[in-house]
Amino acid sequence: MMAHSNGCPILTVVVPCYNEEEVLVETTLRLSTMLRGLVANKQISSLSTVLYVDDGSNDRTWEYISEFNLKYPEISGLKLARNVGHQNALLAGLLHAKETADCVISIDSDLQDDVEVIPEFISKFKEGNDIVYGVRSDRSTDTLFKRKSAIAFYKVLSWFGVNLVFNHADYRLMSKRALNGLERYREVNLFLRGIVPLIGYKSTEVYYERNKRFAGESKYPLKKMISFALDGVTSFSISPIRFITMIGISFFLLSLITAVYVLVSKFNGNAVSGWPSLMISIWFIGGVQLISLGLIGEYIGKIYKEVKGRPKYTEEIKLDALVLKVDQAQ
């Protein structure tokens, strides 16, 4: 764990923004106040900053960020050339911030995630945790549809084998070491909620109550939520492909059972002429086709995993052999 010379870690709060002019004034006020309070209490270094990442906004978001940069010494900004999506904008901010910070906290600009728990994040970091997840303990401010769809989202991804922290979005603290581990994941279709748990360093959770959106509209309507869920499943699991294979095997076995039934019916004289061969053919050919698709899908799934280029491991501690240490000393 790194720290500034005065023993306090340098913190950067990364805030991805897309058309957030309505909330930026309040967001900046709260984050600046929080940061200055932490510096005054000597919990973080005076070099700590807030980094706004403008994800190709077409309103006055960047104008506000530029104004805040002149007014508040702790406010910095990063403007992307075009809209690349929340996950890519967030990654850009994280990797940019890790060059100067000891730890980075990511938070959305809508103030639904409680900034008052940031001191708790810092405390957990100082206890030796490389990753601290912000977990929503209460979603009563969400609509009924939002709550139900969120629960369904986590359950479906869990069923498909995606390792997620329940009720955690992208409000988290990551150490420089964890960010270096994250940088090794080269995939284009980002799903950070699934990638971060794969890094494997010591982690813990901080619980908070979710607030109502301060102003503006959600940038995640139903269409984007469904797309986000599909990205999560297809980026981390080939279970849907194997599901097709299992359906194919089931149809194939069913065709064999049907064949036995048809033959027994034929010998008993109860079968309609032409019906036995037709039924057996349909079930058998359908089953074989689905099995074939499933097998092809298995190979495509292997290729899919290969092209992602994910690291095979993440180093945590390295101890040199004593003989090497002696040799280096000489």
Strand partners, 203: 131
At 178 the pLDDT is 94
* Coil, helix or strand at residue 145: helix
Helix axes 222-236, 144-159, angle to 10 degrees: 10
The whole-number pLDDT of residue 215 equals 57
Spatial distance between the Cα atoms of 306 and 153, rounded to a whole number of angstroms:
26
Exposed/middle/buried for residue 123 (C-beta within 10 Å: 0-12, 13-18, 19+): middle
Residue with tokens 């065709």: 255
Q: Which of 58, 52, 55, 60 is nearest to 27 (CA)?
A: 52
With beta carbons less than 8 A apart as the criterion, state whether 232 and 193 touch: yes
**Among the listed residues 172, 168, 132, 133, the one whose alpha carbon sits nearest the alpha carbon of residue 150:** 168
106 torsion bin: left (phi>0), alpha (psi -120 to 50), beta (else): beta
pLDDT of residue 318: 45
What does the block give as tokens for 247?
């359906």
Residues 294 and 245 sit within 8 Å (Cβ to Cβ): yes
Q: What is the pLDDT of residue 38?
A: 94
In degrees and rounded to multiples of 5, residue 297 shows phi and psi of -60, -35
In angstroms, what CA-CA distances link 255 with 192, 277, 296? 43, 11, 21
Cβ proximity of 251 and 285 under 8 Å: no
Q: Which two tokens stand for residue 303?
A: 């290729």
The 8-class DSSP code of residue 189 comes to S
Number of neighbouring beta carbons within 10 Å of residue 157:
20
In a 3-state reduction of DSSP, which class is residue 28? helix
Q: What is the pLDDT of residue 82?
A: 85
Q: Please say whether the dihedral angle defined by the alpha carbons of residues 169, 171, 173 and 174, taken in this order, is positive or negative.
A: positive
Q: Could you tell me where the beta strands, DSSP code E, fall in 18-102?
A: 49-54, 75-79
Give the integer Cα–Cα distance in Å for 282 and 291.
14
Q: Each residue of 75-89: b (16+ CB within 10 Å) or e? A: bbbbebeeebbbbbb
C-alpha closest to that of 115 among 40, 176, 206, 44: 206
Put simply, whether the predicted model's pTM sits higher than 0.75 gets the answer no
Only one residue has tokens 């403007």, namely: 79
Instruction: Output the tens digit of pLDDT for each of the chain's 330 residues.
Output: 455 545 789 999 999 999 988 889 999 999 999 999 999 999 999 999 999 999 888 989 999 999 998 888 899 998 988 888 888 889 989 999 998 999 999 999 888 888 999 999 999 999 999 999 998 887 666 667 666 766 777 777 777 777 778 878 889 999 999 999 998 888 777 788 888 988 888 999 999 887 776 555 655 556 666 666 666 666 666 677 777 777 777 877 877 777 777 777 767 766 566 666 676 677 677 777 777 777 677 667 667 666 766 664 444 454 345 555 455 555
Count other C-beta atoms under 10 Å from residue 185's C-beta.
17
Give the SS3 label for residue 174: strand
The CATH superfamily of 11-235 is Spore Coat Polysaccharide Biosynthesis Protein SpsA; Chain A (3.90.550.10)
Encoded tokens for 126: 């100082």
Taking alpha carbons only, the member of 93, 103, 31, 18 closest to residue 61 is 18
Extended beta strands in 154-290, E state = 168-175, 203-209
